[in-house]
Chain A
């Protein structure tokens, strides 16, 4: 059975842009992000990342696009408890294999520093707080210097204060590091402080 979730969606995100997506629950925000991140391939139309068409790419090629060009932050942190915090951050970088392991570790350490949790680097994910976990997940999304970071309610599981911290980090990334961001949120205050807000309703962009 096929369900039409999105319809006539036509959006683009420019380099260095901080975009938020809002809309009622069930309007298709997550679905949009999954499609844009190449994880969901059940769609009609075109998806271009960095000018390249993503249709007709093989599973392996899509995986390498995700690895190289996209960073994803979910509502849940999805850290691997078997690895230390810094190793979790390094994993996508190890997969990319562009840097030597020692250099990559240095880079991961710097990313953790940007997020203010470098002191937790050697701990296991189950030994740090929920807010810290989410910041580790952001560091992981940053490790390969992606073109675009997507977030699906990344602050949804956090209290007000931790949510603020994460939001400030996103803003700093956009301003200081010229990072492009596309963040789904339910928080109108949050959305108002981004460069641009995309509002959705019933699978359409308003």
Chain B
């Protein structure tokens, strides 16, 4: 950088301090909005994703009830002159339990790629409210593993989740189901299984997932309680939920385990693809708004530079007459543009940080999100990098054409014009 050129740029800016500041504030404002908006949107995305993703296993092993994919008739077909007309094939009566589940769990737990394993047994039931039966689902879980891997205890809004282990025949009711049954902690509720058997279960907790439809049907019990509901042995497990060290490997591992253990396996990406879409659309909108603001600020800079150049025609002419080249003059105005961008941008990044902090302090409570007390934000440094780079790039582009124009000024024309 050339000290002389810089000093000329600075004195031109000082001579037009007010306009220069207004242009810089335009950049500051847009960068502030950009950072605050993206941080808020990303926070919101994280929140919504976590609502599902944190509680979703990375890989879930289960048995799908489906007719066999390899029907005998397909194997027999060989002549080419035959056609298979058989429709409505029924699955054969196979248990939905995972065979040899204890061994599968042990194998998974010793796998270095696995963060943790939580077995689960899901039972469809009816909650009995007087004469009325409400459909429901009781999931038998290992409370400790479920809490460690899927933050289960965060969503138990009343009672102690660990009581599921210690109190026999206990249940944690979904808040919607509890309301319908008017059940409080310590009450005993009646639950009927699919074969019509009734079981009294003691309520030890109330559960709120944030998704109302889930809270109306879902309840939790210990695995052994569920097995009792089903009338099955202690090895009866319908799902094995696996959390991995690296989320990205889920699709690969799902395939691998599906083949290895001869079960169905679904990975989190396949199970929740719609959330990714929602997040990326929200992010895209934030970027579009931020960049639009920056472009508007860019026009501000373009205007101030054009005005400066118009006002300083004489100065430019004499600089050129006394030996400054076109590229020197070009640099003078590029430096002005970049100074505005760097000053305004830096201030904008700081204000953006402040604005983000401010948003994170605004109280925000909603019944469906029990763990959230204020607006969610995300202090991702990449937003600051992008904001910084964009502020410099836009101001450079805004300065490019006026500077080029200034460098092309013909001193003879100006001097003749006097």
Contact = CB atoms under 8 A, between A and B. Distances in A.
Interface of A: 30, 34, 37, 39-40, 59-60, 63-68, 72, 74-76, 78-83, 91-92, 94-97, 140, 144
Interface string B321-352: 11111111000000000000000000000000
A76 B414 CA distance: 11
Interface string B295-327: 000000000000000000011011111111111
Nearest to B320: A63
A83 B415 CA distance: 20
B15 A81 contact: yes
5 contacts: A72-B322, A76-B418, A80-B11, A80-B318, A96-B323
B303 to A, nearest CB: 20
Given A63-B320, A81-B15, A39 B325 contact: no
Contact of A83 (B11, B321, B328, B416): B11
A76 B417 CA distance: 11
B14 interface: yes
B107 interface: no
Nearest to B324: A95
Given A40-B412, A78-B314, A92 B11 contact: no
A203 to B, nearest CB: 16
Instruction: Place the interface of chain B in its size category.
Output: 20 to 34
Contacts of B315: 78, 80, 82
A136 to B, nearest CB: 12
A102 to B, nearest CB: 14
B15 A92 contact: no
A67 B323 contact: yes
B270 to A, nearest CB: 62
Given A78-B315, A82-B11, 9 more contacts: A59-B326, A63-B328, A68-B323, A72-B322, A78-B318, A82-B12, A82-B315, A91-B322, A92-B322
B406 to A, nearest CB: 14
B319 A66 contact: no
B159 interface: no
A82 B323 contact: no
